[in-house]
């Protein structure tokens, strides 16, 4: 497992220079820096997930019977009118089936899917995929995602009820939905492996460190015994092979068949993914630090995954043109290490 968060910081200052005036000043600057370099964005940052949210929602819609594998078409309509408010889709997609709606990231489809599921269905999805709990990664201070489940009491207290427009906004990962990148990766990756949702971890083992000195000496350090990571059994997300296949087909099409991340296609290597462009501010104000967050969540090979990758780039714009290329770089390095020949589009033969 690998993880990166930017901007970064020099951890040595906390060990080697924390008692010096220069070190204390450097540490103080980290805490006051508005870019928040001490925030581990992968496990502590909470962001609207945008259209990456549509992947667990797609499976939940199938599980709950709002749609079926054989009858998954829903109207796009270019958007939806709730009360006197029209909420748009970025295109007009007719009445697409699920896999096409994933590929084209049709908002209109998901507005209607969420309304068919109801807020109760979305909350069940949140619970099934563990968005209401930490992932359990073996790092300190992990944050829990915030979702309609956690926001509902305060919304009802303030507004008197949970409205359909809230459900519509939640359907595309906005408004009352902010998630950690690790929780999104864990949820989506599970769909590629028959619903096995693992606890992510970095530690493989801790090797024994022998004692230094004698117990009565001032610099004595006792023996530290070895131990290994005890991987919990994965949580199983219930799905049929047919349900898994139709969702993965949509994710495959995102990259390989005219979808929103076609620019990162790697010939000879089936990558399945989903872009997300998460709105931070209202239209017309989405510039600078209010610019959209870019997401891309993925796994590969599509139908027999070995690796899963998520990229989130703050305030950078579209997921397909910013986050997806960043993830592609990770896959290319992975393929190089596996002996993939990019010119011949095949893996080197093992001798």
Answer yes or no: are the C-beta atoms of 243 and 250 closer than 8 Å.
no
* 148 found inside a domain: yes
Give the tens place of pLDDT for each residue, 68-105: 999 999 999 999 999 999 999 999 999 999 999 999 99
Answer yes or no: are the C-beta atoms of 272 and 310 closer than 8 Å.
no
pTM to 2 decimal places = 0.90
* 273 found inside a domain: yes
* 209 found inside a domain: no
Which residue range(s) make up the domain with 169? 43-197+235-341
Q: Which position has the higher pLDDT, 190 or 287?
A: 190
Closest CA to 188 of 237, 147, 141, 246: 237
Q: Average pLDDT of the chain? A: 92
Closest CA to 307 of 283, 343, 285, 333: 333
* 276 found inside a domain: yes
* 332 found inside a domain: yes
* 156 found inside a domain: yes
What is the distance between the alpha carbons of residues 256 and 303, in angstroms, rounded to a whole number? 13
For position 122, which CATH number holds?
A: 3.40.710.10
* 17 found inside a domain: no
Q: Which residue in the block uniquely carries the two structure tokens 């269905």?
A: 121
pLDDT score for 332: 96
Overall domain count for the chain: 1
For residue 351, pLDDT beyond 50: no
* 136 found inside a domain: yes
What is the distance between the alpha carbons of residues 101 and 61, in angstroms, rounded to a whole number? 13
What is the distance between the alpha carbons of residues 104 and 141, in angstroms, rounded to a whole number? 36
Question: Looking at residue 259, what DSSP letter applies?
Answer: S
Give the tens place of pLDDT for each residue, 222-252: 888 887 777 789 999 999 999 999 999 999 9
CA distances for 312 relative to 98, 251, 255, angstroms: 25, 18, 17
Give the tens place of pLDDT for each residue, 8-43: 888 888 888 888 888 889 889 999 999 898 999 999
Output phi, psi for 60, to 5 deg: -60, -40
DSSP codes joined into one string, 64-95: TTSS-SS------TTEEEETTEEEE-SS---S
Cα–Cα–Cα angle for 191, 193, 194, nearest 5°?
75
Give the tens place of pLDDT for each residue, 326-344: 999 999 999 999 999 888 8
Task: Pull the structure tokens for residue 224.
Answer: 């530290």
């Amino acid at each position: 497992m690998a993880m990166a968060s930017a901007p970064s910081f020099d951890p040595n200052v906390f060990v080697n220079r924390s008692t010096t005036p220069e070190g204390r000043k450097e540490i103080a600057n980290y805490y006051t820096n508005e870019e928040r370099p001490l925030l581990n964005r992968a496990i502590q940052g909470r962001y609207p997930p945008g259209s990456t949210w549509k992947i667990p929602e797609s499976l939940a819609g199938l599980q709950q019977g709002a749609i079926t594998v054989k009858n998954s078409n829903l109207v796009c309509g270019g958007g939806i009118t709730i009360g006197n408010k029209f909420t748009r889709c970025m295109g007009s997609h007719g009445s697409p089936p699920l896999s096409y709606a994933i590929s084209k990231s049709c908002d209109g489809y998901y507005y209607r899917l969420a309304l068919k599921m109801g807020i109760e269905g979305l909350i069940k999805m949140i619970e099934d995929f563990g968005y209401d709990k930490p992932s359990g990664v073996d790092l300190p201070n992990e944050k829990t995602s915030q979702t309609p489940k956690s926001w509902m009491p305060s919304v009802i207290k303030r507004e008197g009820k949970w409205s359909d427009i809230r459900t519509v906004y939640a359907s595309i990962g906005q408004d009352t939905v902010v998630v950690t990148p690790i929780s999104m990766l864990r949820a989506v990756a599970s769909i590629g492996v028959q619903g096995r949702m693992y606890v992510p971890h970095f530690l493989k083992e801790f090797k024994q460190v022998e004692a230094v000195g004698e117990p009565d000496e001032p610099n004595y350090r006792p023996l530290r015994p070895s131990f290994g990571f005890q991987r919990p059994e994965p949580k199983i997300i219930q799905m049929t092979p047919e349900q898994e296949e139709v969702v993965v087909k949509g994710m495959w099409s995102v990259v390989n068949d005219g979808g929103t991340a076609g620019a990162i296609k790697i010939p000879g290597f089936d990558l399945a993914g989903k872009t997300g462009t998460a709105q931070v501010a209202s239209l017309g104000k989405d510039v600078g630090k209010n610019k959209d967050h870019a997401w891309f969540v993925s796994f590969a090979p599509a139908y027999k995954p070995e690796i899963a990758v998520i990229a989130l780039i703050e305030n950078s714009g579209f997921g397909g043109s910013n986050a997806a290329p960043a993830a592609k770089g990770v896959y290319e390095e992975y393929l190089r290490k596996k002996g993939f020949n990019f010119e011949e589009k095949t893996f080197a033969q093992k001798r």
